[in-house]
Structures are given as C-alpha cells and as structure tokens.
Amino acid sequence: MGLHLPKRARKLAAGTVAGASLLFLTGCSDENEWQRLAMPDPSTKEAHHVLDLWQGAWLAAILTGILVWGLIFYAMIKYRRRSESEIPVQTRYNLPIEIFYTLAPVMMVIVFFFFTVDAQDKILHAPKDLDKANAQADQSVTVVGQQWSWTFNYTDVDALGGDTVYEGGTTADEPTLWLVKDKQVSVDLYSPDVIHSFWVPAFLFKMDVVPGREKENHFILTPDRTGTFEGRCAELCGVYHSRMLFKVKVTDQASFDAHMKDLQEQGNTGLALGGENVGQQPGLESNGGEE
C-alpha cells in the first residue's frame, strides 16, 4: 500500500506552499533583500553583526528543518503499514533516541546563546561610564525622548569651539539627527517623562529611553553609509506615540559642521533636556499639556 494523504491534508499542504511562496515573492523588494532575508540594509558597522546573527539563525533553522522533515518522511515511508494484516514495528523506550532528542535541543540553545552574546558584546561595545564613552567617540549626542517628539543635543562640537547646540521637533515637524559617515558617535539617551525607545530600522538596533537613568543608557555606533533614514519610538508612550518620528541624516564632515553653525545662529545653544516643552505640542494646550 502506498502513502496516501487525506484530501483535506493535501489541500492544506498545497495552500501552505502557495501562501509561503506568495509571501516570499511579495515581501522582498530587491535582489539583495533575498540575501538579507527581509532585513533592512545595514547602515552602521555594528549593524552588520545583527545581520550576520539573523542570517546564521535562519541557516541553522533551515538545516534543522530539513533534518527533522527528512526523518519524518523517512519514518513515514519506511515504516508505513503495507497491508491490512501487517502492523509496523512499534518502538518504545528507546534510550539512545531519547537521549539524542534531549541533548540536541540543548546543544542548539547553547550554540544560539553563544553567538547571540558574542554579537551583543560587539554591538554594545561602549564603556559603561558615559564620560569614557564620550572620550572614545568622535562625536557625542544626547538624545531626548519626550511626549511626543525628540530633541538632539550635539555636545562639544569642534566646529563651534566645544559649544553645545540642539535641534528639536514636534509631532508635526519631525526633527533630524545629523551624523558623520565613518565617525564614531556616542549616544546618551534621556527622558523627562515616560519610557520611550530610540529605534532606527536601518541601524538594526534600538534601545529604551528610561527616565531616571541619566548617563547609564548609552551606546556607540559608527554610520558607514550616507543617506537619510527613518527613525521612530518603539515603546508605547502615550496618545501621540505613533507620531513620535524623526529622521537620521548621515553626511560628510563639512555638511555636518555647516549645519551645526546654522543651529548656533538660530540661537539653539546649550543643553535642552525637553522637560519644559513636554506639553507644548500641536494638538495640546500650553497649560500643562491638558487637552
């Protein structure tokens, strides 16, 4: 007797294959996205570690899937019932197989854990002390996440003789964070109200902005590709969370210096931590943020 699947099972399998094929065909917009397995194109040196981990995890999952499905189909075909009178061999309490089924997943978890921690250490390579991180980096930025926009403070700007300038935004006017290609930047995250999350998809990285954790929430990254990238808050932070957007512009040193001087000429000098502007957003009254 051959291997026969019920009609409903055949339809389910065909539908699953068709759906998966359609998903892969529509989910990738360019050839390189197939290689990245639908991840954004990395835009920092640290982001490549995330992409390597993602691709490696998919490769391990695919190989594991091939092995498991191969064993399933092998058992289905080899040990299938060939006649009404014949009963296939029944195997119970096979100690070697049970040990293998226990050790194999444990080993897989250990391997995944090792590569995850290794990638994490390479991404979060900034010193724990903020002053040391700022001294190590070429540029220092204090990012303020507030309800419901962002303020970017550029501290100790060389082009301004060490002065600090800032650029803020609103829900109607998205601010832009300026960075320099191939320059290490130390980013310190600050919040005067609730938990936010600084996320730039092209950086393959996000970190929560937690109130009360001054000088503890920071990281270092190095943009390695020029362009303008989208950013947003990835932590539900209130009524206008979905409009808490910003852009990141990675450019050359001359353009960065020119923009810093423009901010200085506009009077955007000093450290702006956002607390006094929390309620002054479009759609809110100025009296304490009450609608």
DSSP per-residue string spanning 49-74: HHHHHHHHHHHHHHHHHHHHHHHHHH
Banded model confidence at residue 278, pLDDT cuts 50, 70, 90: very low
pLDDT value at position 113?
Answer: 92
Pairing of strands 176-180, 185-190: unpaired
pLDDT value at position 30?
Answer: 57
- Name 253's Cβ contacts closer than 8 Å, sequence gap at least 6: 180, 183
Q: What would the mean pLDDT of 271-289 be, rounded to a whole number? A: 52
Q: What would the mean pLDDT of 129-137 be, rounded to a whole number? A: 84
Q: Pick the closest to residue 223 from 258, 248, 259 (CA basis).
A: 248
Provide the whole-model pTM: 0.73
Contact 28, 41 (CB under 8 A): no
With pLDDT > 70 as the criterion, what percentage of the chain qualifies? 82
pLDDT value at position 36?
Answer: 67
pLDDT value at position 7?
Answer: 52
Banded model confidence at residue 175, pLDDT cuts 50, 70, 90: very high
Set out the domains of the chain in order of their start, with CATH numbers: 39-123 (1.10.287.90), 130-269 (2.60.40.420)
pLDDT digits (tens, 9 = 90+) for 231-250: 999 989 888 898 899 999 99
- Secondary-structure percent of the chain, ordered helix, strand, coil, rounded to 5: 40, 20, 35
With 50 as the cut, is the pLDDT of residue 223 above it? yes
Give the distance, in angstroms, between the CA of residue 256 and the centroid of all CA atoms in the same chain. 26
pLDDT value at position 281?
Answer: 42
pLDDT value at position 1?
Answer: 40
